[in-house]
A and B are shown apart, each in its own frame.
Chain A
């Protein structure tokens, strides 16, 4: 028997995790897919699509297109959608806990803890959406008859290169903070975590999130990090690479359109990632009659 039916509710039929682009689940245009195995095992868990450069471009286009609808929402509304994600995650807890065990070899209680933390993360940033500008915005007392304020704005399309060992909380921390700041995103992540893509995407798909705001690509970080870093429509890059050479390479490529490169070293829930994922705009206006 392939699947251990006693401990997990895993399906009998191994599925193929498809990509998540523009709210839809396409296969890779390249037709490539790969098997993913259970943790420390040769047994098949599922298949993942291996996204191509073209898939990446499609995803960036979708993220670009999704941006206005996300930005147009009120901060309160964005917060509600993040909260909805928490609800959706919560209802998938058992499934995810089982998969984290099977796929990544995480102990059950630790898997539960990852889900707990993820929920906490989503709630934290859900409640931050409509406070960000109250915390980091300023009214600047310039010496002249001008009203002058600085408000945070989204950077735009954020490319997240997830090349660390998969951790559910880190995944949600990066996504929730990116969305909280009003950005859309394209994330590329590698095996074996990407075998969770379908399940995770289902959460976003059912959270009233506009299409294109989150795009998830399973594939080879090795293959896709450079195209992501050099893509001219990507405005910021989130990386946490332990691979110094790759990081250096991405930073160099990012310079072409002066992408902001955010080295993800945020471990705590805080305003810092939001600050790093935002632009600030300062507006002047005369005060007179």
Chain B
């Protein structure tokens, strides 16, 4: 099969042929560069048949018996069984957190807390391969992303917040701050370990104890993090993890002995939690949904803008609250941009998340896949121009969806208003910066936005006009523990990350 590389021997010698490159054969000498599967080994991961809860520093059995499967989205097969925590489990976890807070954690010094957090960060790094593989197995995201984004960032969150623990005096302009007590934290399935780190690290740094509930479909890395907490010698009860679905989440957030609730997830559930906490003294931060727009001006660096748009919507299969799911193109470059975008999308490699060359992995679950295909079908029925990288063949097993977009979408189309949470982009055009800003803001959400232009003053003006908590200018979907994250309007309350991310976990003394 390698003959295809061999140059024909019967050709005349170059010195006597002045046009050696213009022969009929030219162009046929190329080879088909198929990347052979390069699978990350899963040997490093040991998954128990059934999972336990992590309460008071120990892995304990639930008092309940209602187990459910946690699946590998790339195969649809069960990886392990996870338990739905009972009221008693949740209560026990909260009590253990309270006890740890009162007896141990509130008495530690900042530098002691920092030491624990540094150690956890280091252990995450030490076990990064294992965590990455487990994350990819349980979530379906490409190993490339769990390896290069999720796990390193999770460690970075602990490192970053560790440093704050003994410097809180500097964080609040000379004010004294006190921890709140026990924080109930409920996190989503799209960045399981990263969200856990994102929640736990600032809470612990500021002196709080936590009860964390991972999403019911992605508990495994959170439980491995619990093991790491144990290994780091974290005092029992400072971090507790209960598993289960919405019911467990409600039990936790409505527990009477909670001082603080931090939730990341859908706006729908966020609103339920907010209503349930109305009239209570519990502090609440919410990181909710989004329908973020990317504005591409005609004077943008178009090739990099294409990258940013692709990264914006297809990163993590579009299962990202701040996904750039709407694309607003200046009319003068719209056709050119769409052409470039199509070409770029065609080179995306969709498939087995464990393959190191996979760019787009598995849709997280059948439920999500159905939701996405529902949106796509609806938009198709509305007659919208649809494109998906047709050369891509999807694996037969598991849940997959081709990266795709709809072009010339009106602002009223549901694909332009509702959060799809999948690899589906809605494209429309604008004529002036003013129109671009108005269109970008034409949503109930306000999490993030992107703007692409090489004209600095236009970037500044646009960024000011955008009603969004994060504005990525000439880049997109960048995350850092030092950078505050959170949205305007229905995308949530409060910020996480950075100095601003400490505020929701403290009481500032006047």
Contacts and interface: CB of A to CB of B under 8 A. Distances in A.
Interface of A: 135, 138, 140-144, 146, 148, 150, 235, 244-245, 247-249, 251-252, 255-258, 260, 266-268, 270-272, 275, 279-286
Contacts of B274: 251, 255, 258
Nearest to A244: B279
Contacts of A282: 469-471, 483-485, 498
A268 B175 CA distance: 13
B510 interface: yes
Given A244-B279, A285-B475, 13 more contacts: A140-B483, A142-B482, A148-B480, A252-B275, A258-B491, A272-B510, A280-B495, A281-B463, A281-B466, A281-B469, A282-B498, A283-B471, A283-B473
B475 A284 contact: yes
Contacts of B492: 258
Given A258-B489, A267-B510, A282-B483, A146 B475 contact: yes
Interface string B147-173: 000000000100000000000000001
A200 B88 CA distance: 56
Interface in B461-510: 463, 466, 468-475, 478, 480, 482-486, 488-493, 495, 498-500, 503, 508, 510
Contacts of B29: none
A129 B286 CA distance: 28
Given A140-B498, A255-B274, A272-B510, A279 B488 contact: yes
17 contacts: A140-B480, A140-B483, A140-B484, A142-B480, A148-B480, A244-B279, A258-B288, A258-B492, A271-B173, A280-B484, A282-B471, A283-B471, A284-B470, A284-B472, A284-B475, A285-B473, A285-B475
B469 A284 contact: no
B336 interface: no
B465 to A, nearest CB: 10
A98 to B, nearest CB: 33
B444 A257 contact: yes
Interface in B245-299: 267, 270-271, 274-275, 277-279, 286, 288
A281 B271 contact: no
Most buried by B among A143, A251, A260, A284: A284
Contacts of A148: 480, 482-483
A255 B471 CA distance: 25
Most buried by A among B267, B466, B484, B499: B484
B459 interface: yes
A141 B278 contact: no
Most buried by A among B286, B474, B492: B474
A142 B478 contact: yes
A224 B402 CA distance: 50
A163 B485 CA distance: 34
B271 A248 contact: no
